[in-house]
Amino acid sequence: MSTLPLIVMLCLVAASASAAELPADPLNSPAWSTIAGRYFKGQTVAFDARVKVTAPSSAEDPLDVPVQISAEGLPDVQEMLVVADLNPIQKILSYEPLRAAPSLAFRFKVEQSTPIRVAARTRDGVWHLGGVWLSAAGGGCTTPSYGSADPVWQTRLNEVRGRLWPADDHTGQRLRLRVIHPMDTGLANGIPAFYIDRIVLSDAKGVTLARLNTFEPVSENPVLSFDLRGSGAVQVSGGDIQGNTFSAEISP
Amino acid sequence: MRCWPWLAALAAAAGLSAPASAASFDYRLQARKVADGVYALIGKIENFSRENGGNIVNTGFIIGVDGVIVIDTGPSKAYGEQQRAAIAQLTAKPIVQVLLTHSHPDHVLGNQAYPGVPVASLPATAVTLTQSGDALLGNLYRLVGDAMRDTEVRLPNAVAADGALSVAGRKLRLIAARGHSDGDLMVFDEASHTLFAGDLVFFERAPTTPNADLPQWLETLDALDGFEFAVLVPGHGPVLHDHAGIAQTRDYLRWLRDSLQGAARRGLDMPEVLQLPMPERFRTLAVLKTEYERSVTHLYPAYELDTLPTIPRSKPK
């Protein structure tokens, strides 16, 4: 287990993400300037110890690496972007925790050892970055999904399992979800990309609580944990890139 | 040009080590007598590394009247060959039987050293090696490196079945069980009351669970606790003369089961489960943190799924 060392607090020097002013990457990633250019061009980035990624140090199962992201302590988080620098598809997800805590747990497919980064954008437009290195034997992105080889699985496409737990401090509730979906990356031979790209959570009145966009690297049959504020039933709706949709109401 | 003596010594050492690095990895195997005619080769209680060449495993052999029975062949071709050489130092009798306890790569990848010898396993072991042998081999090349040189998967060529087996003039009892994997073979030598328990028993090292079924494994250990033996050779860890290894493995697996099940019922996700505190009594186990992390990955998905009911499809609002 590792979280971003405190030392990066010292590098909390905001800088515009141009090559000249780009802050040094505490993870020493060979792809840092590429990542910065691709996702934060012309924007302000800062490494910030309040933005944490929790993951095992080594990927035991490259198809299913558990990750938790958190920006607790950072006010007004508008969006959280998760990328794996050295994955063939770098962008894993983006999360708008509208009425939820800025934290999320998910699993993803890793192709080789890589930094996992989370960038949390605050209201002032600054991207606050945290991350860890993950060691991996890899192959997760180019391995066919189990679902792609199993027609029975397809009949349960988008089946939702889930449950709500009241938070320990009673300030909110945790939603855990599992959706059946192959989440094909398009990188396995002859199997086109096919993945859930959006999940929206709303309350009984239809008020949106959180919005999640997922991409190819999210693991097959995604398992997600959201930390919501408030209580009560949650409406889950989502869909994949081929227009299949799902919706389910999860009651406390 | 100045030349410091220590630098010269270093250069000499480098020169000397060059031919050694071209040769096979030297496992420095030492057969340890655990009973009359019964020997064990005790591996390190570590993770796979380049330094240990994958020798993190216990293997053994039994010298019978007219031949030798080998139990597990180790992690590589070089290990198998050096195991065979260690046997040859003690006896000129031929190897007449190899028995594989289960399909994990540290136990079976020395099979190449025994061409022409019957290599028997439970059917499930052969199935796993047929399906996943090359993937397991590839992973070990990655973890261990050059010690694996020229190692290839050699499938078992004979079937071991639960019950008595007389071979090389030695009466054995083969015990077919499950839990650590879907085919765990134990070998009991009737003459010396030595039990080769395979990876059903670990001692002083955290158990591994990549193919484990905890309820089945615990059931097997319960049964094993009633079994009489004089010597127990665990799959990993020091040789035992009592039930301490069975008790320790069972204690750990029960804790793992209860801990994972409890975490799932509290709604924790895997990264949180990875950070749960470990009981004090397990802190002395070698490679505890690594194996716990691996076990969470292997086992937690099933426990958490048990806590998540299927939700009927609703109309989007």
**pLDDT tens digits, A165-216:** 999 887 899 999 999 999 999 999 899 999 999 999 999 999 999 999 999 9
User: Which residues in chain B have Cβ-Cβ distances shorter than 8 Å to A162?
Assistant: 308-309, 311
Residue A45: inside a domain: yes
For position A216, what pLDDT does the model report? 97
For position B316, what pLDDT does the model report? 56
Question: Which amino acid is it at A149?
Answer: A
Query: What is chain B's percent helix, strand, coil content, to nearest 5?
Result: 40, 20, 40
Please check whether residue A197 touches B, CB under 8 A.
Answer: no
d(CA A225, CA A229): 13
For position B142, what pLDDT does the model report? 87
Residue A1: inside a domain: no
d(CA B239, CA A24): 52
Mean pLDDT of B130-148: 92
The pair of three-digit structure tokens given for residue B181, joined into one six-digit string:
């994997």
pLDDT classification of A22: cutoffs 50, 70, 90: confident
Count Cβ–Cβ pairs < 8 Å, chain A vs chain B. Answer: 96
Pick the more confident residue, B18 or B66.
B66
Question: What is the SS3 assignment for A172?
Answer: strand
For position B76, what pLDDT does the model report? 98
Mean pLDDT of B162-185: 97
Pick the more confident residue, A2 or B224.
B224
Please check whether residue A228 touches B, CB under 8 A.
Answer: no
Dihedral angle at the C-alpha atoms of B146, B147, B150, B156, nearest 10 degrees? -140
Residue A150: inside a domain: yes
Tell me how far apart the terminal alpha carbons of chain A are, to the nearest angstrom.
Answer: 32
For position A56, what pLDDT does the model report? 92
Question: CB burial class (10 A; 0-12, 13-18, 19+) of residue A58?
Answer: middle
- Which superfamily does CATH assign the domain made up of B25-243 to? Ribonuclease Z/Hydroxyacylglutathione hydrolase-like (3.60.15.10)
pLDDT classification of B3: cutoffs 50, 70, 90: very low
The residue range of the domain holding A222 is: 6-250
d(CA B174, CA B234): 15
Nearest CA in chain B to A238: B316
d(CA B210, CA B221): 18
The pair of three-digit structure tokens given for residue B54, joined into one six-digit string:
């994958």
pLDDT classification of A141: cutoffs 50, 70, 90: confident
pLDDT classification of A30: cutoffs 50, 70, 90: very high
Q: What is the DSSP string of A108-153?
A: E--SSSEEEEEEEEETTSPEEEEEEEEEE---TTSSPPSGGG-HHH
Q: Do B269 and A105 touch (CB under 8 A)?
A: yes
Strand-by-strand arrangement of the B95-99 sheet: B32-35, B38-41, B59-63, B68-71, B95-99, B119-121, B158-159
Mean pLDDT of B110-126: 98
Question: Does the pLDDT at position B80 exceed 90?
Answer: yes
Contacts of A228 (CB under 8 A, 6+ apart): A99, A100, A101, A172, A173, A174, A175, A201, A209, A210, A234
For position B315, what pLDDT does the model report? 63
For position B290, what pLDDT does the model report? 92
Percent of chain A with pLDDT over 90: 77
User: Which residues in chain A have Cβ-Cβ distances shorter than 8 Å to B298?
Assistant: 60-61
Question: Does the pLDDT at position B302 exceed 70?
Answer: yes
User: Which residues in chain A have Cβ-Cβ distances shorter than 8 Å to B314?
Assistant: 235, 247-249
Question: What is the SS3 assignment for B271?
Answer: helix
Mean pLDDT of B137-150: 93
Host H or E run for residue A80:
strand A77-84
Question: Does the pLDDT at position A13 exceed 50?
Answer: no
Q: Do A178 and B307 touch (CB under 8 A)?
A: no
Nearest CA in chain B to A163: B308
Pick the more confident residue, B4 or B29.
B29
- Read off the CATH number of the domain in which A78 is found: 2.60.40.2470
Mean pLDDT of B284-290: 95
Mean pLDDT of A10-36: 75
Confirm if A159 and A206 have CB atoms less than 8 A apart. Answer: no
The pair of three-digit structure tokens given for residue B227, joined into one six-digit string:
């079994």
Question: Does the pLDDT at position A7 exceed 60?
Answer: no
Lowest-pLDDT choice from B14-23, B135-144, B176-185? B14-23
Residue A139: inside a domain: yes
Q: Do A68 and B304 touch (CB under 8 A)?
A: no
Strand-by-strand arrangement of the B310-311 sheet: A52-54, A65-70, A100-108, A223-229, A172-179, A160-166, B310-311
The pair of three-digit structure tokens given for residue B275, joined into one six-digit string:
């950070």
The pair of three-digit structure tokens given for residue A205, joined into one six-digit string:
């009145």
Nearest-CB residue to A68 (from B139, B272, B314): B272
Confirm if A197 and A241 have CB atoms less than 8 A apart. Answer: yes
User: Which residues in chain A have Cβ-Cβ distances shorter than 8 Å to B275?
Assistant: 1, 54
For chain A, the residue count is 252
Confirm if A32 and A54 have CB atoms less than 8 A apart. Answer: no
Number of compact structural domains in chain A: 1
Residue A36: inside a domain: yes
Nearest-CB residue to A160 (from B290, B298, B311): B311
pLDDT classification of B22: cutoffs 50, 70, 90: low
Number of alpha carbons in the 13 Å side-chain half-sphere of residue B245: 26
Nearest CA in chain A to B309: A161
Percent of chain B with pLDDT over 90: 89
d(CA B241, CA B226): 14
Q: Do B269 and A237 touch (CB under 8 A)?
A: no
Residue A172: inside a domain: yes
Alpha helices in chain A (DSSP H): 32-39, 151-154
Checking DSSP bridges between strand B68-71 and strand B59-63, what pairing results, if any?
Answer: antiparallel
The alpha-carbon radius of gyration of chain A (Å, integer) is 18
Question: Does the pLDDT at position B19 exceed 80?
Answer: no
Alpha helices in chain B (DSSP H): 5-22, 77-90, 105-108, 123-144, 214-225, 244-265, 270-274, 288-306
Host H or E run for residue A212:
strand A208-214
User: Which residues in chain A have Cβ-Cβ distances shorter than 8 Å to B304?
Assistant: 176, 223
Residue A98: closest CA among A17, A199, A210: A210
